[in-house]
Amino acid sequence: MNLGYYPGCALHGSSDDYQQSLKACFGALDVSLKELDDWICCGATAAHTLNHKLSIALPARNLALAAQQGCEELVAPCSMCSLQLKKAQKAISGDALLAAEMSRIVEAKPDGARVLNLIEALERVGLETIKTAVKAPLKDLKVACYYGCLLTRPPKVAEFDDCEQPESMERIVAALGATPVAWNYKTECCGAGMTMADEDTVLELSQKILADAAAHGAQSVVVACPMCHVNLDMKQSAIEARYGTKFGMTIYYLCDLVGLALGLAPKTLGINRHFAGRIA
Amino acid sequence: MEFCVDNFMSATMQSDSISLLESLAQTKFADCYQCGKCTAGCPRSAHMDKTPNQIVRMVQLGEVDAALKTDAIWQCVSCETCTARCPKNVDCAAVIDALRQVSYERGMTSKQQAAVVLFQKAFLDSVRRNGRVNEVEMIAQYKLEGFAAMRRLGFLFEGAMLAPRLQMHHKLHLIGEKVRNRDLVRRIFARCMDGKE
Amino acid sequence: MSRIGVFVCWCGENIARTVDVDRVVEEVAKLPGVRCAVNYKYMCSDPGQTMIREKIASEKLDGVVVASCSPHMHLKTFRKAAQTAGLNPYLLEVANIREQCSWVHSDRDEATEKAIELIRMAVAKVKNNHALQPIKVPVTRRAMVVGGGVAGIQAALDIADAGYEVVMVEREPSIGGKMAGLSETFPTLDCSQCILTPRMVDVGQHPRIKLYTYSEVEAVDGFVGNFEVTIRQKARYVDITKCTGCGECSKACPLKKNKSEFDFGMGSRSAIYMPFPQAVPARPVIDKNVCAMLTRGKCGVCAKKCAAGAINYKDEDKLVKEKVGAVVLATGYKLYSIGKQDGKIAGYGEYGYGMYKDVIDSLQFERLLSASGPTNGEVKRPSDGKTPKNVVFISCVGSRDNAKGLTYCSKICCMYTAKHTMLYKHKVHDGQAHVFYMDIRSAGKNYDEFVRRAIEQDGAKYYRGRVSKITEQNGKLIVRGADTLAGTPVTVEADLVVLAAAMRPADGVTELAQKLNVGCDQFGFLMESHPKLRPVETNTAGVYICGAAQAPKDIPESVAQASAAASKVQITLSAAELTREPEIARINEKTCAACFRCFEACPYHAIEKAEVRNRKGELVKRTARVNAGLCMGCGTCVSICPSKNADIEGFTEQETYAMIESLI
């Protein structure tokens, strides 16, 4: 299987452990990820906060590249990127004037590729396919599936799973032999991009997530977004210091778990580069 | 304090601003019936100077300036919970975005929220230069501009303790990536932000 | 040569302000066949009508055109006036120069020209009109009431007390509806069953009410005054004529853990069960889906215990036919199911209903409050049976919510929520009720005072804002809401959450409505004929609606509507014959080709396939034939008939073409 791949800035920056995990995992599933050539930043929070046109134009440029490079399905493992791409697509397809303006601004037609977040990409590979490929079931792993905000919201844009009680990640995790716990903070915000500018907010919100996961018996948390990972993993020691609680929770990327179940070594998946918790 | 519509903008300017906000947010302010579900689900509402439903209410009443100057719009973490749950399909998150965009453009951003505004600015500037965010370059700009605005020495060093750990895990990339077609990126920015071309 | 009289109304200023009525009269007087043309300020008034009558007599008119407001307003008035003067009423036409002219145009010259043309068309039509006689249809002077809730009970009693026989069909094993399950009713806090059960007993014992319980309407044939309804009596497996209602069977039944429908899942019942102690009829029914004998052929304990030998495992559904002249639909409501439903109506995943045991809906809470309920009237948490000290009530669940799909206000929830807080407080003195609301709708008699009592005397805390999410933590329900008046989010740790779910039409109502050719609105509520002036009639003659089936409403309104529907029924049944307007379809049976396209197309199933036989009884030809009782004069057959044999009396092709030609 061939899928287009839009890394986004985080996966080429301080979250490149996510990219390492993704490539190893999809490689083991015999899926080839072709990186979009000369892709640019999707704009993330900064664009939609400061300039409306830019927040559509930057994703539109990437959609145009996808069209030019014959890419029909584009995996965007960062949930912010996947949402921004989907948002731009929706806005353009519903408004001919906007489509014309965007074509002018990005100097090409931003035709649609089908944008897939990480979970959608794994579903595209197929739950049954993954299940049959499992070599080392993740028994004894109790994990809290954390969706964060942008995988399922806003529902009319993301068009993915149920935004109140999503189950798509749980289905994959269960197929890997692990036990997804029932908990209350599946879709509560971790503080998003406020990590540097408003650390207090991130610590407060992320602490609630870790505390609830622990209270419901989870030993670790699994995510599908690099921002969530930063806030729950890199900031975990700051959370522990601020609130006086020890969590020691490993924060896995979903492809980490898939890779482990497929028999890949933790180091291959970059799990040793996480900050918090034990290796596996 | 009485809400007197004349105190703020003239009637024409108000309705112009409201139309602008509605077209940016693609949502009608009149649809909101002030049920408060947005405020109820907002993870930041307890800390905001004006809650989400109050922000929408202010615009409904024409108090656009006051809304543009709040801390609340910058405290918003864009979690989209308000939009997802609104019973009247008002895109509340888009309203906050629209207010942020107009506030930034008109130089009316809250002083207390300077750090947040400057962070987003540094992010966009880095993208404008390189086509992708160069983290170290972005943080450097953020810290310098933030210090200039807030005059707090501590600001320069906050979060610095993370650097050694990042380095240890090979996550600190001193030299960022540059896309090849940077000229197009600059033209896109110019067309969207500076109104040129 | 025709002798037409034209009467132009000013309608005060409504017409005369825009249309030059003097000029109109001047012009139309010149039309060939017009004998006289006059105008007057208020044609519909007594003097106006007198004018018409006098002119008919003095000018020997054989046709009249009244140029005035819409025929919906006064066509009948004017036709009656004509009839009094000896002119066949169907030789009078109305030209609508108000709604179709003066009210929609502003240019005086253009409006006046248009008025003249409208009258010219009407005159051309009237010249071609035939005198018509009203149609008489025999009436079966019995009524049917579908639904045995408080509305159905009231309607049935009113009709039966007026002297007519009533057939009542109720889907559940007992009548009583939702009201039988309520604890106390607002604003009097009367015990619901105490005020309802006497009526239920009256229905059960009334000499003129024939009660079919555990039955449904299978099919409906016929038309106003002449309905034939097929009723399916579902198998009870208990012979209610032999059964004494002793209750030994339920006591003996080993399968006791079935969710009780009457308790909305809050309590249990056996496989053979009496719906509730005051049931009418007070006879049990066997749940064929769980009974061991009926599903696996084992057990049979109830039959052994039954001293009267009333158990019959071989019972089967029976189809029974009843002839009635009018039908009242009082099918009541169900609550919005809060979880996802039928793909079109989204659920509230954020409230955890169905996930958390202690999140229940309002009818379930009623059963907890009810003295005859599963907890004997003590308020207990479904999860652990403890007494809740903090109960959160959430209004507008499902209603007033465009995003979830039900935009309407459910009307009764503000009132019953206030009632719930009061009843809760009366039972749990140290308990605290919290209500999250958007508005308080308390518009009835003593209603607003009732809500204020809940707040001011019984200490209920009201927060103005919706709830965003409910999660469960350490046995408590964390309710995250807001108070927009104080401008702050509000979080309450509750022991129990009660969701005031929207009233929706009962299941199966759309199918039932189709059987009777009654319309439903986009939410499934039965459609009234006119929202202001005909709230209990439908667009199908002889079928009436009342109660929550038509729209959310409380008990006093349901009872009032039921009596209203009953009075309409009595009008329909008041004479042995019904008079119907003759403006219905007519088929030329001599030349009809019997292709029966009209038969296929008729939305009222008013066309019959008939045979024409000669004196010897030999078949001469087949023909389509209009059933004068059913036909509503819609004209579909006219447009579809390929041989032009169908026509509408009073709107014939000849009349219509005359109108068109008069304009050319």
Across residues C151-177, what is the average pLDDT?
98
Across residues A154-175, what is the average pLDDT?
95
Cis peptide before C642 (omega within 30 of 0): no
Q: How far apart are the first and last CA of chain A?
A: 29
- Given a contact cutoff of 8 angstroms between Cβ atoms, the answer to whether C391 and C498 are in contact is yes
With CA atoms as reference, the chain A residue closest to B93 would be: A154
With CA atoms as reference, the chain B residue closest to A155 would be: B84
Does the pLDDT at position A89 exceed 80?
A: yes
Nearest to C468 among B46, B85, B89 (CB): B85
Q: What is the pLDDT of residue C344?
A: 65
Does the pLDDT at position C45 exceed 90?
A: yes
Number of domains in chain C: 3
Radius of gyration of chain C (CA): 31
What's the pTM?
0.87
Q: How far apart are the first and last CA of chain B?
A: 45
Same domain, yes or no: C339 and C488 = yes
In a domain, C156, yes or no: no
In a domain, A278, yes or no: no
Give A222 to chain C, closest Cα distance, Å: 21
Listed residues A69, A97, A118: the one ending a domain: A118
Average pLDDT along chain A: 95
Number of domains in chain A: 2
Across residues C100-107, what is the average pLDDT?
95
C343 pLDDT tier (thresholds 50, 70, 90): low
Interface A-B, measured as beta-carbon pairs within 8 A, has a size of 164
In a domain, A280, yes or no: no
Same domain, yes or no: A172 and A63 = no
Give A196 to chain B, closest Cα distance, Å: 7
Instruction: Give all chains having 3 or more CB-to-CB distances under 8 Å with chain A.
Output: B, C
Strands C318-324 and C226-233: antiparallel
Could you tell me the CATH number of the domain that includes residue A70?
1.20.1050.140
In a domain, A225, yes or no: yes
Task: Name all domains of chain B by residue range, CATH numbers in brackets.
Answer: 5-105 (1.10.1060.10), 111-194 (no CATH)
Q: For residue A4, which amino acid is it? A: G
User: Please, what is the angle between helix B114-130 and helix B135-150, to 10°?
Assistant: 140
Listed residues A118, A152, A177: the one ending a domain: A118
Q: Which pLDDT tens digit goes with each residue over C372-396?
A: 999 999 999 999 999 999 999 999 9
**Exposed, middle or buried, C590 (CB in 10 Å: 0-12/13-18/19+)?**
exposed
Q: Which residues contact C598 (CB under 8 A, 6 or more apart)?
A: C587, C607, C624, C636, C637, C640, C641, C646
Q: What is the pLDDT of residue B7?
A: 45
In a domain, C559, yes or no: no
Same domain, yes or no: A22 and A142 = no
- Which region holds residue C326: left if phi is over 0, alpha if psi is between -120 and 50, else beta? beta
Average pLDDT along chain C: 95
List the single best residue of C468, C469, C483 to mutate versus B (max B Cβ within 10 A): C468
Cα–Cα distance, C55 to C656 (Å, whole number): 26
C534-543 in b/e burial notation, b at 16+ Cβ within 10 A? ebbbbebbbb
Nearest to B124 among A12, A46, A152 (CB): A46
Residue-wise DSSP of C26-73: HHHTTSTTEEEEEEES-TTSHHHHHHHHHHHHHHT-SEEEEEES-HHH
Give B1 to chain A, closest Cα distance, Å: 31
Listed residues A88, A118, A148: the one ending a domain: A118
Nearest to C350 among A164, A212, A215 (CB): A164
Token pair 């453009």: residue: B105
Does the pLDDT at position A112 exceed 80?
A: no
> CB-based contact (8 Å) between A61 and chain B?
yes
In a domain, A123, yes or no: no
List the single best residue of C409, C466, C467, C471 to mutate versus B (max B Cβ within 10 A): C466
Does the pLDDT at position C532 exceed 60?
A: yes
> CB-based contact (8 Å) between C349 and chain A?
yes
* CB contact (8 A) between residue C483 and residue B85: no
For B178, other C-beta atoms within 10 Å of its C-beta total 12
Give C344 to chain B, closest Cα distance, Å: 15
% of chain C with per-residue pLDDT over 70 = 99
With CA atoms as reference, the chain A residue closest to C349 would be: A164
Q: What is the pLDDT of residue B3?
A: 46
Could you tell me the CATH number of the domain that includes residue A199?
3.40.50.11810
Across residues C415-432, what is the average pLDDT?
97
Interface of A with B in 3-22 (CB under 8 A): 9, 12-17
> CB-based contact (8 Å) between C350 and chain A?
yes
Q: What is the pLDDT of residue B196?
A: 62
Q: Which residues contact B195 (CB under 8 A, 6 or more apart)?
A: none
- Given a contact cutoff of 8 angstroms between Cβ atoms, the answer to whether C258 and C269 are in contact is yes
* CB contact (8 A) between residue C349 and residue A184: no
Q: Which pLDDT tens digit goes with each residue over C4-21?
A: 999 999 999 999 999 999
Nearest to C402 among B41, B42, B89 (CB): B89
Q: What is the pLDDT of residue B8?
A: 46
Could you tell me the CATH number of the domain that includes residue C617?
3.30.70.20
In a domain, C305, yes or no: no
Q: What is the pLDDT of residue B5?
A: 47
In a domain, C64, yes or no: yes
> CB-based contact (8 Å) between B188 and chain A?
yes
C341 pLDDT tier (thresholds 50, 70, 90): low
Listed residues C444, C479, C504: the one ending a domain: C504
Give A1 to chain B, closest Cα distance, Å: 27
Does the pLDDT at position A157 exceed 70?
A: yes
Same domain, yes or no: A35 and A15 = yes
Q: What is the pLDDT of residue C340?
A: 61
In a domain, C14, yes or no: yes
In a domain, A125, yes or no: no
Residues of C in contact with A165 (CB under 8 A): 349, 355
Length of chain B: 197
Across residues C298-323, what is the average pLDDT?
95
* CB contact (8 A) between residue B50 and residue C487: yes
Same domain, yes or no: A59 and A147 = no
Q: What is the pLDDT of residue B33?
A: 96
Contacting C with CB below 8 Å, chain B residues are: 33-42, 45-46, 50-51, 53-54, 81, 85-89
Same domain, yes or no: A56 and A149 = no
Does the pLDDT at position C303 exceed 70?
A: yes
Does the pLDDT at position A208 exceed 60?
A: yes
Residues of A in contact with B177 (CB under 8 A): 12
Paired with C610 in beta bridges are C623
- Given a contact cutoff of 8 angstroms between Cβ atoms, the answer to whether C398 and C501 are in contact is yes
Secondary structure of residue C354 in the 3-state scheme: coil
Q: What is the pLDDT of residue B170?
A: 87
In a domain, A279, yes or no: no
In a domain, C589, yes or no: yes
Q: Which pLDDT tens digit goes with each residue over C581-627?
A: 899 999 999 999 999 999 999 988 899 999 999 999 999 999 999 99
Could you tell me the CATH number of the domain that includes residue C46?
3.40.50
The range of the structural domain enclosing residue C35 comes to: 4-128
In a domain, C625, yes or no: yes
Radius of gyration of chain A (CA): 18
C178 pLDDT tier (thresholds 50, 70, 90): very high
% of chain A with per-residue pLDDT over 90 = 97
The range of the structural domain enclosing residue A266 comes to: 130-273
Q: What is the pLDDT of residue B6?
A: 47
* CB contact (8 A) between residue B84 and residue A153: yes
Listed residues C483, C504, C525: the one ending a domain: C504
Q: What is the pLDDT of residue B1?
A: 42
Does the pLDDT at position A42 exceed 50?
A: yes
Same domain, yes or no: C494 and C598 = no
Q: Which pLDDT tens digit goes with each residue over C233-273?
A: 999 999 999 999 999 999 999 999 999 999 999 999 999 99
Residues of A in contact with B21 (CB under 8 A): none
In a domain, A18, yes or no: yes
Same domain, yes or no: A135 and A253 = yes
Could you tell me the CATH number of the domain that includes residue C497?
3.50.50.60
Q: What is the pLDDT of residue C494?
A: 98
Q: What is the pLDDT of residue C342?
A: 56
Listed residues C474, C504, C534: the one ending a domain: C504
Same domain, yes or no: A90 and A196 = no
Structure tokens at A46: 């900064």
Q: What is chain B's pLDDT, residue by residue, as a tens digit (197 residues)?
A: 444 444 444 556 667 889 999 999 999 999 999 999 999 999 999 999 999 999 999 999 999 999 999 999 999 999 999 999 999 999 999 999 999 999 999 999 999 999 999 999 999 999 999 999 999 999 999 999 999 998 888 888 887 778 888 888 888 888 889 999 999 999 999 999 986 65
In a domain, C431, yes or no: yes
> CB-based contact (8 Å) between B71 and chain A?
no
Give B82 to chain C, closest Cα distance, Å: 9
